[in-house]
Structure 1
Amino acid sequence: MDVDLRGGDWLDDNRANWDERVPVHVASEFYDRSPLRRGDGVLDPIARAGVDRLFPNGMRDVRVLHLQCHFGSDTLSLANRGASVVGLDFSRPAVEEARRMAAELGVDDRARFVEANLYDARHLLPEPESFDLVFTTWGTIGWLPDVAEWARIIAWFLKPGGRLYFADGHPSAFVFDGDGGPGGLPVFQFPYSNPEPDVLEDASDYADRDVAISNARTWEWMHPLAEVLGALRDAGLSIDAFDEHYQVPWQIFPVTVPVGDGMFGWPSERWLPLSYEVVATARQR
């Protein structure tokens, strides 16, 4: 299926869905921002440990681009660590809330937010080779039809020697859904390798189970590990680290249970990885 990366039904539907989610998420306990107001952060344990490994001496004077930042809670967590941050998201309500929160926290002098379709980033944020870190986590590339272009955009923004930190749900977990298997386990629902989007009608929201989203139609793409890692290498990045985890920061399946610090995992056997993370470095040009 040929997709116009700059627009079309896929982008309009996904943006309307996320625009509607913003006030739901802002009001939810899931997105508790009280740690931000205390000067701390809300990074999940996987991303927090990953950033700590990359910057053991702190993030002061580190310049960060956060792609698909939603309403900026993780972006502002990095700002609270001393980084200078730019957050980019395609949802106007999300960007407006991120800007409002940056002003509330008093970090709007070093936390800037840009409203843009990711594929327009190079036109609206013309700052090539200017970032020490590109950060993108949780529920990002599944909304994108083309990860090769995503990887090229990352490479374009990174300084030589700059690094990508990426974490997301594991594609092997995304082939499953529901609770119709033995013991309430999820069942096969989606193919692992499929260039076509899954066009879904789902009014539920992971942050508030009592809410029904009116703009329920979304377009989502499966991106196997080989496709993602290959795209990053082809874009000029060296893969420094790859790891798989059996936890995610949301209840990915009904059977998964809280395991502490906002994370969810399998109740007993580790059936398969639920998430993965990648660290990559921009090679010298």
Structure 2
Amino acid sequence: MSVDLRSGDWLDDNRANWDDRVPVHLGSEMYDRSALMSGGSQLDPIAREGIERLFPEGLEGKRVLHLQCHFGSDSLSLVNLGATVVGIDFSEPAIDEARRAAAELGVSDRARFIQANVYDARHMLPEPESFDLVFTTWGTIGWLPDVAEWARIVAWFLKPGGHLYFADGHPTAWIFDYDGEPDEGALPKVRFPYDSSKPDVLEDPSDYADTEAVIEHARTWEWTHPLSETMRAIRDAGLVIEEFEEHFRLPWRVFPAVVPVGEGMYGWPDTKWIPLAVELVARHPGS
């Protein structure tokens, strides 16, 4: 299925949906930012440990591009850890809030936020080979129709020797869901194909951060990108995959059957049925 990456119903519907989510998330316990606004970090443990492995001496002096940054909580966490960060997101309310939070923290000189469709990033920020790290985590490429173009954008921005840090829900998990209200502890069933050739167009007014919320603009367009497709796209963009890991926990309650496992993460209560998250590090091969 050919999709216009710069405009169309998929982009308009997804942006309206995420505009609606901003006030919901800001009022939710899941997105509590008290530690962040006190000068700390609220990176989830997977991303925190990944960044610590990549930069054992810290982020001082590092320049980071955060794609699909929402309202910048992780962007500002990286700033609080010493980095200079540019965050990009397509939602105007999200970017407005990111800028407001940066000003409140007094870090606007090291945190720049740009409202843009990720596919327009090279036009909005014409700075090739200028970042030590491209950072993108949790709920990102599943909203994008073309992962190969996404990977080319990542590679375009990285300095020689720079890294991509990517963590997201495992695409295998995206094929599962429930029919109606699940029984307590019931496992999800296969509902969607493991195939990115066409989107799943959904009408779902719920929100993962607040089970009581009703999203007005409920239609979304979502793509399941198989692992092979994502890894091939990264390699074809000229990057070298250095780390790959699957995890059985992630930072939101993806299914009613998963349970809190500490540090804001959720996982299976007993048997590790399927992996819930994937983590990947890739490097620009230049010196």
| Superposition TM-score, scaled by structure 2 size | 0.97
Q: CA deviation at 1:193?
A: 1.9
What amino acid does structure 2 have at the position aligned with 1:234?
Answer: D
Judged with a 3 Å threshold, the aligned counterparts in structure 2 of structure 1 residues 183 and 177 are, in CA distance, closer, same or farther, namely: same
What amino acid does structure 1 have at the position aligned with 2:29?
Answer: E
Q: CA deviation at 1:5?
A: 0.2
Q: Does 1:170 align with 2:170?
A: yes
Q: CA deviation at 1:284?
A: 2.1
SS of the equivalent of 1:113 reads strand
What amino acid does structure 2 have at the position aligned with 1:236?
Answer: G
Between 190-199 and 225-234, report the one with greater CA deviation: 190-199
Please give the residue correspondences for 1:53-68 in structure 2 after superposition, counting only pairs within 5 Å: 53-68=53-68
Unaligned runs of 5+ in 2: none
2:262 to 256, 260, 263: 260
Q: Is the 8 A contact 2:185 2:256 kept in 1?
A: no
SS of the equivalent of 1:148 reads helix
Q: Is the 8 A contact 1:139 1:168 kept in 2?
A: yes
Q: Distance in 2 between matches of 1:245 and 1:136?
A: 17
SS of the equivalent of 2:21 reads helix
The equivalent of 1:191 in structure 2 is: 193
Q: Is the 8 A contact 1:69 1:89 kept in 2?
A: yes
Between 91-100 and 23-32, report the one with greater CA deviation: 23-32
% same residue: 68
Q: Is the 8 A contact 1:143 1:221 kept in 2?
A: yes
The equivalent of 2:208 in structure 1 is: 206
Unaligned runs of 5+ in 1: none
Q: Is the 8 A contact 1:180 1:187 kept in 2?
A: no
Could you report, residue by residue, the CA deviation over 1:237-264 in whole angstroms, capped at 9, with x for unpaired residues? 0000000000010000000000000000
Could you say what the CA RMSD is over the residues aligned between the two structures, in angstroms? Answer: 1.2
Q: Distance in 1 between matches of 2:79 and 2:140?
A: 21
Q: Distance in 1 between matches of 2:23 and 2:59?
A: 30
Please give the residue correspondences for 1:28-39 in structure 2 after superposition, counting only pairs within 5 Å: 28-39=28-39
2:252 to 250, 253, 266: 250
Q: CA deviation at 1:180?
A: 5.2
The equivalent of 1:276 in structure 2 is: 278
| Superposition TM-score, scaled by structure 1 size | 0.98
The equivalent of 1:107 in structure 2 is: 107
Q: Is the 8 A contact 1:181 1:187 kept in 2?
A: no
Q: Distance in 1 between matches of 2:184 and 2:80?
A: 45
What amino acid does structure 1 have at the position aligned with 2:13?
Answer: D
Could you report, residue by residue, the CA deviation over 1:213-252 in whole angstroms, capped at 9, with x for unpaired residues? 0100000001000000000000000000000000010000
Judged with a 3 Å threshold, the aligned counterparts in structure 2 of structure 1 residues 227 and 281 are, in CA distance, closer, same or farther, namely: same
Q: Distance in 1 between matches of 2:110 and 2:89?
A: 17
The equivalent of 1:223 in structure 2 is: 225
Corresponding residue pairs, total: 285
Could you report, residue by residue, the CA deviation over 1:99-133 in whole angstroms, capped at 9, with x for unpaired residues? 00000001111000000000000001000000000
Judged with a 3 Å threshold, the aligned counterparts in structure 2 of structure 1 residues 183 and 110 are, in CA distance, closer, same or farther, namely: closer
What amino acid does structure 2 have at the position aligned with 1:188?
Answer: V
The equivalent of 1:19 in structure 2 is: 19
Q: CA deviation at 1:194?
A: 3.7
Q: Distance in 1 between matches of 2:183 and 2:97?
A: 40
